[in-house]
Chains A and B, each alone.
Chain A
Amino acid sequence: MDAIRFEDVSFSYGSGAFAIRNLNFSVREGEFVAVLGHNGSGKSTLARLCNGLLVADDGKISVFGKSVSEKDNLFEVRKEVGIVFQNPDNQTVASIVEDDIAFGAENIGVPREEIGERISFALKAVGMEGYRNALCARLSGGQKQRVAIAGVLAVRPKVMILDESTAMLDPRGRKEVVDVVTRLNREEGMTVVLITHFMEEALRADRAIVMNKGEIVMRGTPEDIFERHEELQTYNLTLPRIGYICRKLREGGLNVADTLDEEKLAEEIASCGSLRNI
């Protein structure tokens, strides 16, 4: 069954222009999908439509077969779909890590003993076991975002949407967050929708879609999409640094195949023989 399904969905913020136009796409259970797009492409609107924070003007959105537009389904849908937002400070409800993680579980009426277990599980899943009683304000950006992920995990959703959750982080924090989500996807079978404008992050995904002006303009595996780098540039997206390095190496006379995997690139370079010959 599809975890999330959009059928001919349109949405506008009331100013006339469509934020999302005739969108059709679906995410299978257990899949890792990256949604790429520059500012204003409608990708954040997409996230908010998935769990009823915004209501579509047209079309049908369903989560595990349940229609999101029905008010009675909202609570059930939100239990299945968790969202991690962009600004870590604006999604933390409590000052202490464990209190914040407990918030979602308390809302859905989980008994007290089980909330404790869920907090331990969630902290372990994001690699922050030692921070249970820490003050959120004292954490680094990457750590705060991992607490936010833990807060979503405590609700035990089947789908996790990351709405530009790495945009405000430094490279190290970004890696922390993406590593955690990748592991959740591979080991816990969590369905992940990663919305981002950092192309490197999309590499971890099984599938990527590119959005522009509220429409999906490209679909495929991340590798397929990065192959079409000229097309990407017309949507104001630039190739990840590693893809760029491949191209530059070839221009410089080193015969390497296009790849986006660091290890693979290293092997390619090694197999080219002595670098002094160039």
Chain B
Amino acid sequence: MLKDVSFGQFYPAESFAHRLDPRLKILFLIAFITATFLAKNFYGLVLCAAVLVLAVLFSGIPVGKVVRSVKGVLFLVIFTALLNVFFYQGATVYWSWWILRITKEGLLFSAFLALRLALLVMCSSLLTYTTTPVALTDGIESLLTPLKWIRFPVHELALIMSIALRFIPILIDETERIMNAQKARGADFETGGLVKRVRAVVPVLIPLLLSAFRRAEELGDAMDARCYMGSKNRTKYKKLRFGWRDLVAFLTGAALVTGVVLLRVFVGATI
């Protein structure tokens, strides 16, 4: 169950997308998200999907892995889709009962929403699959540099994020270990009502929190021992540099947003 949490898991490969500047990938993701929200008809969304397929092909990540990343939010996708199927107020009614009714517009709208959500999640996972946490935070740090003017601790924030990402798989393993230890002593996580299940989680959370604090303390010591003093006088091993690949990705992102806007203007909003 916990192994499905794939967010933040870097997938090592040598590909076009892996070599892109992380700043550009973040901007590309923002452009992609903007495009999916600007799209008001299926043509726009299909264009987004086409760009995503292209991005996946250039990322060297197995297609199945990208598709599976939706699994984590599958419940959310189905839930919102179902709500819209039954409650959307459309004109062409296929079936109705009490306050529930299925309309043509409702079906289309649910499909549209589900597709949009799936695209968003897949593109975000593509970013974390092709970018190491360090590169990602370097990118964020660099993009947020203007905030240093108002004394915002950009470097510290970026470091916190990269450490958090690094510890996700470790804490997942730990949670599983604790749950197995509790199960071996007769704890029951699978049956009972909501209240009982939530209560069963408490004995897992407490040791998990304790161990997280202990880890944090040890990591702090290790960082101190390796001369960490904050961002002052610190150098960076990996310098971010824009290259021709980044130009290609930038143009693709820009073309996508323009395309979606044009489709919206000329085809009109059908959803």
Contact = CB atoms under 8 A, between A and B. Distances in A.
B236 A53 contact: no
Contacts of B228: 103, 107
B12 interface: yes
The 3 A-B pairs with the shortest beta carbon distances in the complex, nearest first, are A91-B222, A104-B226, A102-B237
B60 to A, nearest CB: 14
Interface string B152-186: 00000000001101100110000000000000000
B133 A94 contact: yes
17 contacts: A75-B229, A78-B227, A79-B227, A82-B225, A83-B225, A92-B166, A93-B226, A99-B238, A102-B238, A103-B226, A105-B235, A106-B234, A107-B227, A112-B236, A115-B237, A116-B237, A137-B170
Interface of A: 48, 51, 53, 75, 78-79, 82-83, 85, 87, 89-96, 98-99, 102-112, 115-116, 119, 133-135, 137, 151-152, 155
Given A95-B132, A155-B227, 17 more contacts: A53-B221, A82-B226, A94-B132, A94-B133, A95-B166, A102-B237, A102-B238, A103-B226, A105-B237, A106-B234, A107-B226, A107-B229, A110-B235, A112-B235, A116-B237, A134-B12, A155-B226
B7 to A, nearest CB: 14
Interface in B204-253: 215, 218-219, 221-229, 233-239
A150 to B, nearest CB: 12
B236 A91 contact: no
B134 interface: yes
Q: How large is the interface on B (under 10, 10 to 19, 20 to 34, 35 or more residues)?
A: 20 to 34
Interface of B: 10, 12, 132-134, 162-163, 165-166, 169-170, 215, 218-219, 221-229, 233-239
Given A90-B215, A155-B227, A137 B169 contact: yes
A89 B223 CA distance: 13
B224 A53 contact: yes
A105 B226 CA distance: 8
B225 A90 contact: no
Contact of A106 (B10, B169, B221, B235): B235
A112 B237 contact: yes
Contact of B233 (A53, A85, A109): A109
Contacts of A96: 10, 132, 134
Nearest to A50: B225
Contacts of A108: 227
B172 to A, nearest CB: 11
A68 to B, nearest CB: 13
Nearest to A96: B132
Contacts of A95: 10, 132-134, 165-166
A250 B62 CA distance: 64
Contact of B223 (A79, A93, A105, A112): A93
A115 B235 CA distance: 9
A75 to B, nearest CB: 6
Which one of A78, A106, A155 has the greatest number of beta carbons of chain B within 10 Å? Answer: A106
B234 A94 contact: no
Contact of B166 (A82, A93, A112, A134): A93
Given A75-B229, A78-B224, A155-B227, A106 B236 contact: yes
